[in-house]
Structure 1
């Protein structure tokens, strides 16, 4: 009897200790995920405006896109900071993530550097345009640090949320389009053939999204009565993207002659038959030593070797595939402890990436040269750079 009571007492003690531990852990998550996080300050001289549009491509079935634009603005007394995620997008994100949203950063506590619905800056007559597409499943707000920085340097930066490929896309009327199997890459042990076939089909859709957006920009630039009228420099267009969005950017550079230069951030070229014949940059994370990762790494190096001139290959030491997202500086312990993010400091990784992206587009869209594109820089020891001229 005494032994049985001792066992029960021990079990109760363990249960109490377990409950205390769980309570402390939950308390830690609540406190940490709600701490304010401030995105890196943009490096340019312009304040940054942000505005959203819903654009429908009538030439394709069910191709409605949510477009968000970051652009140079002049601050006034009516300037209002934009939410990191617009309210309806934040609600959709929490619903999509479910209970796991409590194990990561509360996006409502993230402070960005953009001002909502501001007029375009009058400091220049017009501004070159760069179109951006995110990685598969992601949305453009996940890359705000990269997009804000370019806008602060005098670019109009247009972010496309790929409908049915992003986990969710929220339109201005509140309707939500969720990711579908048709809009996604196969996940259950696909063959290389399946990956390339599905990838090629999706790349075509994403590339058509880019070309449609360039068409639409031309329309609003010519249309009277818009804040954009005559202020979009359609002679200097660039494209870039992360992961699958980088693949689409490479393909867009091939098929759309209006694009002058492009960047692929850590993207494997699914279904892209040849590399662009215009200035192009590959930015790579530090690839792991597993077979699949090494295959992709060697394929990207082959693609770089196929560039004719004005080609660049950058490798960011200690960065992983997801260090190019804002999430690299957010509270996300599970992702960090499981190696989703590399060992490089999150803010430093974004700073390095921003510096080279800006240098590249400054050279090929503004004719402003940079030593960063000539040789390895002592300011950025994390970067290995190869150049084809």
Structure 2
């Protein structure tokens, strides 16, 4: 076994300075000092490398609720790749999205820095247009938290894809902080907590967006690697609400995961749910009483995450602690967003729980039993 000497104090100090430079001044400063990007997402844990393709979908039968015109939706599809050699890693946000998000971040999530972060420098582990691994695999749809773009669900999605799932991240323009569409950039209409009417519109629109995606999956170039008999849905916050509503109302979906979303919008619909559901919550959620009331009586398995905050289910679990280490986010902001605990450990629990649930609920259907011959 090769022995590696412990780093000297000088090496450790140098590494810390390079990491801070990457956050504060972007990739140019990091490169100038041999630097390492400080804003990183954790690698997926599965045996497969991950491919990524992005598609724009238009529903000409439906008007967009937030601005005039037909409804447009962006999706990213993550999947096990046959090879990733020669296929670049995708940035978490496009350059245009990163510029928009730099100004929107402190509005969407108070306490995030208004300046000093190169959001466009964050790379995913998805390789653009990498060829998929042959074989049909279960499909999981993801809908993000209110005000968030689909890109902030990258970490969990990549992990699921690396373990042999096809994961579809769905953006909801007008609700999401920013989405770059073929027709142009869309930014969020949300400012603070949505009122009941706005929340109703958000959830109805998200459920319709999920139905659109389900309708179009069979037409995508990646359809040959999707097993459309095995479909699950999961979502965070408002996305959790939408995921459960979609699960209850669409027979194509077999099972769902709710990552701390309210379920009091349509109590009768939710009460009649007869499909497998897993629900996560944190002990740091500010509206825990409403959440618990809305979950009362549901026959679903529940998991409580301790020392955790509401946005720990998203990529903020990894980005916010790094921003705090660079002095760009306070301890109070960190606690409010993702909790004061070990976010890496919490992420590992969520990854394992969601993966195990869908592994169990979306197992390959058994082949039909062969008829026995009657004795002669």
Could you tell me whether the CA contact under 8 Å between 1:199 and 1:270 is conserved in 2? no
In the aligned structure 2, how far is the partner of 1:95 from the partner of 1:39? 21
* Residue aligned with 2:156, SS: helix
Which residue in the other structure is 2:293 paired with?
299
| Aligned mates of 1:56, 1:238 — CA distance in 2 | 22
Taking the aligned partners of 2:283 and 2:167, their CA distance within structure 1 comes to: 27
Structure label with greater radius of gyration: 1
Partner of 1:258: 252
Residue matched to 1:348: 345
Instruction: Provide closer, same or farther for how the CA distance between residues 150 and 177 of structure 1 changes in structure 2, counting only shifts above 3 A.
Output: same
8 Å contact kept, 1:186–1:198: no
State the partner residue of 1:375.
none
Residues 336 and 328 of structure 1: is their aligned pair in 2 closer, same or farther, counting only changes over 3 Å? farther
Unpaired segments of 5 or more residues in structure 2?
1-17, 27-36, 64-69, 366-376
Query: Alpha-carbon deviation of 1:260?
Result: 0.2
Counting only pairs closer than 5 Å after superposition, residues 1-389 of structure 1 correspond to structure 2 as 32-33=23-24, 34=26, 35-61=37-63, 62-97=70-105, 101-103=113-115, 105-122=117-134, 125-172=135-182, 175-180=184-189, 187=194, 195=196, 197-220=197-220, 226=221, 228-273=222-267, 274-275=269-270, 276-287=273-284, 293-302=287-296, 305-307=297-299, 311-330=300-319, 331-333=322-324, 334=329, 336-338=331-333, 339-340=335-336, 341-366=338-363
User: Is the CA contact (8 Å cut-off) linking 1:131 and 1:159 kept in structure 2?
Assistant: yes
Q: Distance in 2 between matches of 1:129 and 1:230?
A: 12
- Measured in 2, the distance between the counterparts of 1:28 and 1:279 equals 43
Q: Which runs of 5+ in 1 are unaligned?
A: 1-26, 221-225, 369-389
TM-score, normalised via structure 1 length: 0.75
Cα offset for 1:209?
0.6
| Distance of 1:76 and 1:168 partners within structure 2 | 28
- Please list the CA deviations of residues 160-216 of structure 1 after superposition, one character each: whole Å capped at 9, or x if unmatched: 11111012111145x1112225xx7855xx5xxxx2x44333211111110110000
Answer yes or no: is the 8 Å Cα contact 2:150–2:170 preserved in 1: yes
User: Is the Cα contact below 8 Å between 2:176 and 2:187 reproduced in 1?
Assistant: yes
Shift of 1:129: 0.6
Q: Given the superposition, is the C-alpha separation of residues 335 and 266 from structure 1 closer, same or farther in structure 2, using an over 3 Å criterion?
A: farther
Q: Aligned equivalents of 1:48 and 1:31: distance in 2?
A: 25
RMSD: 2.6
Query: Which whole-Å CA distance do the structure 2 matches of 1:105 and 1:205 have between them?
Result: 32
SS of residue paired to 1:236:
strand
Question: How high is the TM-score relative to the length of structure 2?
Answer: 0.77
1:105 deviates by 4.5
C-alpha distance in structure 1 between counterparts of 2:205 and 2:344, whole Å: 33
Matched-pair contact (CA < 8 Å) for 2:234–2:257: yes
8 Å contact kept, 1:185–1:199: no
Name the count of aligned residue pairs. 316
* CA–CA distance in structure 1, aligned partners of residues 354 and 19 of structure 2: 37
Shift of 1:76: 4.6
